[in-house]
Structure 1
Amino acid sequence: MVDAVPPAPPRHLVLVRRPDDGVDELGGVDVVEQVGSATLSTTHVAAADLPGWVAAQEPSRPRWTWDCTTRWYPDLLRAGVRVARCWDLRLTHDLLRGSPLAAPAVGATSGAWDALRAAAPDGGALFDGEDLLGLDPVAELRRQQDALRAADHRGLGLLVAAESAGALVAAEMTSAGLPWRADVHAQVLTGLLGPRPPAGRRPVVLERLVEQVRDALGAPGLNPDSPGALLGALHAAGLPVEDTRSWTVERLDHPVAEPLLAYKKLARLLSANGWQWLDTWVQDGRFRTDFLVGGVVTGRWSARGGGALMVPAPLRAAVVADEGWRLVVADAAQLEPRVLAGMSGDRAMAAAGRGRDLYEGMVASGAVATRAEAKGGIIGAMYGGTRGESGRMVERLGRRYPAAFALVEDAARAGERGEVVRTLLGRGSPAPTGTWTEPAGEEHRAEEAAGQARRAWGRFTRNFVVQGTAAEWALCWMALLRDRLWQAGQAAGGGRPHLVMFLHDEVLVHTPETVADDVAVLVRETAAEAGRLLFGDPHDAAPDFPLDVAVVRSWADAG
């Protein structure tokens, strides 16, 4: 029997900016070859030559290591250079600084690394003479590797790799853009709002609704866009409302409710995604936004520009694949409850969702009588609903699925004590700030306010552990899918399938029609593989992750 050979340490090529040093007028880059703690070589590359040099090294599959993916990869993509792997020092620094698994080993943190943020899109030339606060990427890489070794937790290493892979995905999605038909978008707006009005005027449909609102309230000069004026008009009409939110208006038994709700909905569409949005954000048939990996403390992504994570349903008709291409749209069903079953090891809850709708499985098991009760109870458990019908369902389901419900309860209690909780792979929750754990003085009001703050933070940590672990599953899914799509593209001929949108538990792939069915298979396979990465090989406590997958011409056709 031959002893297993330990895997070779990864080969890092660390990119370090250098200002103008006389080699060329734009300065350049020192590329430091780093294996473990050993520096093997340093190569100076002129700025103009960097894309070609990176492309020449890429067949050896190095791990490109840089201060922040947003400061390096977009320029490489513009030059037509794709890399397979990277190590994002900024994202990894933030993960290790916040993780209770690694924090003791991280040691003193650098203020410069703490302050580093993602670059703004088109924020200036890559080589502009700025030394990025004197950061030392080689020293930071060593410190991070030391911290991971000291943590000795497989999940944390997986999270670091997945987060950096996510940074590559985000940059590639921004570069590719989401296919967007401006003519279809304009048709949708015209159908809902009427023709495009002159600047400063409302569309005709909104003007008509304004007149109906004014007539219903007897307020001929009312501007419904002014919350104060609208609230005053509602009061003058004898409606004792405290605000003008849609959910408040929905409860009114008054003729103003219907036109006012319609106005609010369409005015929101005009403001968020109207003709001005179309002029600003859609260029050359693509909508491009700036995706921010880990932009939310749970690890979920955010987006900067254009409201990419909130595309309204009517405008999904404008997301149309190019001629000869298709969109593969995949949505993970009931992701967070399934993640809760897996991370808690609750066999009964995992079994309820195996191969079917999780909530219907709970009904079939006799835990509750209806799907609505099952859904309400699970949401209550994950978000802290303890009152009314939700509270009763939480108590009932907790008896059937004790491990899952105990996990979120323990996280809530830890949050109320001011403790940091973590996701499955090791992302840490932020610590509460302020004096919420110590009421100021002995006054009853101060003590009551502190108690409310503690319970609110407990509701946050209760959800953090589940939402954050779901984000980790999605990161692994996209990292795996990205690699498989690149391989599949070798057979596509007229172009490679690629990710173009990610919405927490939903992805869109733009793919040549010839390989669209193969891509749909890859989407399912990588979702299952991501589940195995987090929760192990299939067993009675491991959840499955069914997807709703559609191959369509338009996003709206996915249902």
Structure 2
Amino acid sequence: MTRIALSRLPGERVAVSDGSGAVELAREELPDLVAEREARDDEPRWVWDDTARWYPPLLAAGVRVARCQDLRLGHDLLRRAPALDQALMDGPDADVWDRLRPGGPSEAVLFSVDDRAEHLRADVEDARQLRAVAASPESGRLGLLLAAESAGALVAAEMTYAGLPWRVDVHERLLVERLGPRPPRGARPALLEAAADEVRSLLEAPRLNPDSQPELVNALRRQGLAVTDTRASTLRRLEHPVVEPLLRHKQLAHLWTTNGWEWIDQWVRDGRFRPSYQPAGSTTGRWSSNGGGALSVPVQVRTAAVADEGWRLVVADVAQLEPRVLAGMSGDRALAAAARGGDLYQGMVEAGAVASRNEAKLGLLGAMYGATTGQSGRLVAGLTRRYPQAFGLVEEAARAGERGEGVRTLLGRGCPPISGAWDQESPDAPPDEESLAREASRRRAYGRFTRNFVVQGTGAEWALCWLADLRGRLWRLGGNGPLEQRPHLVFFLHDEVVVHTPTHLAEAVAADVEAAAATAGRLVFRGAAVDFPLSVSVVASYADAGKGGSATP
């Protein structure tokens, strides 16, 4: 496979190196070169500093690439990989790569020649990363993780480019029904203000700002209601006429501020919701987003996510991802057997491990999140004897964290180190009882983090492999058109994907979604007999996913 490194040069020029030599060309010539090499070579791998900087202009020019190596993501990952000799990551410009932050497609390519971050040598960094990985005893797993991480970066750019289909008329109709007509700038919607007035009247507080927690708590206390917060769960326990309008006000205020008219203006263009995704935005490798609430499309506005005419949305999510990941990475055959073919929690019941599905769920979640008291704590103790490998893995990860040691995911992503210990802050001063207690508490908290890190991070790795394989399948399925005319990914959230597809290909897409999940399981867990069953819906609107049917607004 040919590796083609791209580096920015002064004067809006690009250096292109494929191992046989290097050429320079103007930036505007790059899409033609990439398209020509994609057609001529056998899936070349494009090597660049940041997919978010290089790929969007190519997509805008109608050029899709099959593979890339995102050096920024790779460098950050390898710097925290326990199975890597960190000395091999040092060298020219390593300090710049260490602090390189995600770029954006709107950023100018031409910067001052003195800005080292703008003119990094991709071929030099690529060679450094390849040498470091090759020298690792975990080279196979790290190589897979780097490839999956880079594929995820391509998916993120493509999802922003293609966008999630979004009907502004449906969204605005929902807002008018719930909030009233769009108010002038600086004013509040009529129905939201009406709910606020009702709250003020019932609390006998005409000047109350119901969005202010301190004011609202004081007003409730003056009515004889002993509250310390205004969470919805707290309010529902109260017996007072104000509860219903207050809860309604909270819901309407959240809709207005989170997904109201300003959200539409900012994030929906040309009938598409186009958020900005950030692969590996969290320490576990899970994605984050840079705005628009991309990783949390509320149920109440999903009715606006509607497929184009003649198209459908294929929505798929995996059941009980993290417990299945725990079974696979620990090699616990008993837990894997419980997961086989369907509901993992019910499988534990049928195996006689617990009496009810709820107990199975409480026990497994308790093990992954560190429950030590109450019903969860008691269940964890009993299930540890039944599933010693699975429960022992997270327990050892927690103990390592409490010792101040790092842990790693199955493919080799390292967790951030514990920091700020008293013995590092003042090595010459003997610790007192207060600092010892504070340090013990901090290490227990870090242990809870490392306990979940190994499972959540490995789950993120499985999801990346799922995305990477599915992306290739969709491209091969869709004929000869550009990305947006083929089946393509439009949404991803940890354990859920949404594909926009021509209707006649919807069933084939659903089959490929399931096949890609099975492939990801084999890649990550190497023959461990763990199933990853999916719930798959073919719908016209995202809001109909899981309802067993399709609807047209």
Q: Shared topology, TM-score over 0.5?
A: yes
Cα separation, 2, equivalents of 1:453 and 1:175:
43
1:525 is aligned to 2:512? no
- The aligned residue for residue 123 of structure 2 is 138
Residue 544 (structure 1) aligns with = 531
Q: What is the CA–CA distance in structure 2 between the aligned matches of 1:302 and 1:452, rounded to whole Å?
A: 28
- Quote the offset at 1:259 in angstroms: 2.3
Please say if residues 71 and 119 of structure 1, whose CA atoms lie closer than 8 Å, have aligned partners that are also in contact: yes
Secondary structure of the equivalent of 2:485?
coil
Partner of 1:119 in structure 2? Answer: 103
Residue 4 of structure 2 aligns to a residue whose secondary structure is: strand
Are residue 16 (structure 1) and residue 2 (structure 2) matched?
no
1:28 equivalenced with 2:13 (yes/no): yes
Q: Secondary structure at the match of 1:310?
A: coil
Match of 1:366 among 352, 368, 385: 352
Against the structure 1 CA distance between its residues 329 and 210, is the aligned structure 2 distance closer, same or farther, given a 3 Å change threshold? same
Deviation at 1:151, TM superposition (A): 0.7
Q: Deviations over 1:477-514 (max 9, x none)?
A: 00000001000011789921100100110000011111
Indicate if the aligned counterparts of 1:439 and 1:447 stay in contact, CA closer than 8 A: no
- Identify which range, 524-533 or 364-373, moves more after superposition: 364-373
1:156-175 C-alpha deviation (Å, 9 max, x unpaired): 11000100111111111111
| Aligned residue identity for 1:48 | E
- Once the two structures are TM-superposed, the CA of residue 438 in structure 1 deviates from its matched residue by 6.8
Contact 1:96 1:106 in 2 (8 A): no
Amino acid at match of 2:502: P
- CA distance in 2 between counterparts of 1:323 and 1:138 reads 45
Shift, 1:250, TM fit: 3.1
Task: Tell me which residue corresponds to 1:347.
Answer: 333
- Within the alignment, does 1:516 sit opposite 2:506 as a pair? yes
Partner of 1:486: 475
Match in the other structure for 2:461? 472
Partner of 1:37: none
Q: Is residue 226 from structure 1 mapped to residue 212 from structure 2 by the alignment?
A: yes
- What does residue 88 of structure 1 align with? 70
8 Å CA contact 1:96–1:103 kept in 2: the answer is: no
Cα offsets for 1:155-198 (capped at 9, x unmatched): 11100010011111111111101100001111122222222223
Cα pair 2:8 2:120 within 8 Å, conserved:
no
- Aligned residue in 1 for 2:293: 307
Match of 2:440 in 1: 451
Matching of residues 218-297 of structure 1 within 5 Å: 218-297=204-283
The gaps in structure 2 that reach 5 residues or longer are 547-553
Q: Could you tell me which residue of structure 1 aligns to residue 134 of structure 2?
A: 149
Contact map agreement 1:332 1:546 (CA 8 A) in 2: yes
CA distance in 1, matches of 2:247, 2:141: 47
Please tell me whether residue 429 in structure 1 is matched to residue 415 in structure 2. yes
Matched residue SS, 2:64: coil
Matched residues, number: 535
Q: Secondary structure at the match of 1:308?
A: coil
Distance 1:522 1:42, change over 3 A: same
2:38 paired with 1:50: no
**1:320 counterpart residue number:** 306
**Which residue pairs with 1:400 in the alignment?**
386
**Would the aligned equivalents of 2:195 and 2:248 in 1 still touch at CA under 8 Å?**
yes
**Alignment partners' CA distance in 2, 1:259 and 1:419:** 50
CA RMSD, Structure 1 to Structure 2 (Å): 1.9
What's the secondary structure of 1:264's corresponding residue? helix
- What displacement does 1:445 show? 2.9
Counterparts of 1:439 and 1:105 in 2: how far apart (Å)? 26
Q: Which amino acid aligns with 1:163?
A: E
Q: Are 1:193 and 1:206, in contact at CA under 8 Å, matched by a contact in 2?
A: yes
Q: Is contact 1:481-1:523 (8 Å) kept? A: yes
Give the secondary-structure state (helix, strand or coil) at the position aligned to 1:309.
coil
CA distance in 2, matches of 1:113, 1:172: 25
The Cα offsets for residues 489-540 of structure 1, whole Å up to 9 and x where unpaired, read as 1178992110010011000001111111101000000100100001123xxx
User: How do 1:137-216 and structure 2 match up within 5 A?
Assistant: 137-153=122-138, 154-216=140-202
Report percent identity of matched pairs.
Answer: 58
Counterpart CA distance in 1 for 2:469 and 2:116 is: 32
Q: Give the conservation status (yes or no) of the 8 Å contact 2:89–2:129.
A: no
Give, in whole Å, the separation in 2 of the partners of 1:188 and 1:129. 48
| TM-score computed with the length of structure 1 as normaliser | 0.92
Does the 8 Å contact 1:492/1:515 carry over to 2? no
Shift of 1:396: 1.9
How far does the alpha carbon of each residue in 1:316-348 deviate from its partner, in whole angstroms, 9 at most, with x for none?
A: 110011111111100011000000000001111
1-structure distance, mates of 2:185, 2:14: 48
1:115 partner amino acid: R
Letter in 1 for 2:290: R
**Alignment TM-score, normalising by the size of structure 2:** 0.93
Q: Which runs of 5+ in 1 are unaligned?
A: 1-9, 21-26, 35-39
CA distance in 1, matches of 2:467, 2:55: 18
394-403 vs 228-237, which moves further: 228-237
CA distance in 2, matches of 1:82, 1:239: 60
Equivalent in the alignment of 1:3? none
